[in-house]
Amino acid sequence: MDHMDHTAHQAGASGAREQEHGAHDHAHHDHAGRASWGTAAKATAHCLTGCAIGEILGMVIGTALVWSNVPTMVLAIALAFLFGYSFTLYAVRRAGLSLKAAIRVALAADTVSIAIMELVDNLIIALTPGALDAHLSDGLFWSALLGGFAVAFLITTPVNKWMIGRGKGHAVAHAYH
């Protein structure tokens, strides 16, 4: 079973949760401030899935519209945040949270994770020779993009582990699963 500390939840998020659902049973969680690598990897993969969908969609749209690199990357990053937040919003709304409370949870859960992933992934794409000029049909485009996602996952997972162990980041959303 995954272990994480929920004692340090933000007052707004945990208060909204308790108001809407009553007290949450935390008996299955370890309150010693630790998070497992498995929990961190799952949280990172969840976040990365939304980011990847948004980023790939942004790249496809920008390429199809024959946009230059900067507007294409801006769209891809914006859609990465949108899809990343949407995955969490969907999950916590299903748990019964109001839209306002769900937005607060998604922002608290995903902002740092998405920001790190987008920074790392886009830096790798930008620094890979020829990747920005590659077309969707080029292997270089996909290898730089997928390689960027892999490196972003490896860098973001320890950050998520550290944050979850302190009741922050994805720990905020975990309370609603």
Q: How many residues does the chain have?
A: 177
Lowest mean pLDDT among 26-35, 112-121, 144-153: 26-35
Single-letter amino acid code for the residue at 119: L
The whole-number pLDDT of residue 99 equals 94
Read off the pLDDT band of 33 (50, 70, 90): low
Q: Residue 164 above 70 pLDDT?
A: yes
Kindly report whether the global pTM for this prediction surpasses the value 0.85. no
**Cβ 171 vs Cβ 42: under 8 Å:** no
| φ/ψ (deg, to 5) at 102 | -65, -40
68, burial (CB in 10 Å: exposed 0-12, middle 13-18, buried 19+) = exposed
Q: How far apart are the C-alpha atoms of 21 and 100, rounded to whole Å?
A: 15
Single-letter amino acid code for the residue at 124: I
Mean pLDDT of the chain: 83
The whole-number pLDDT of residue 28 equals 37
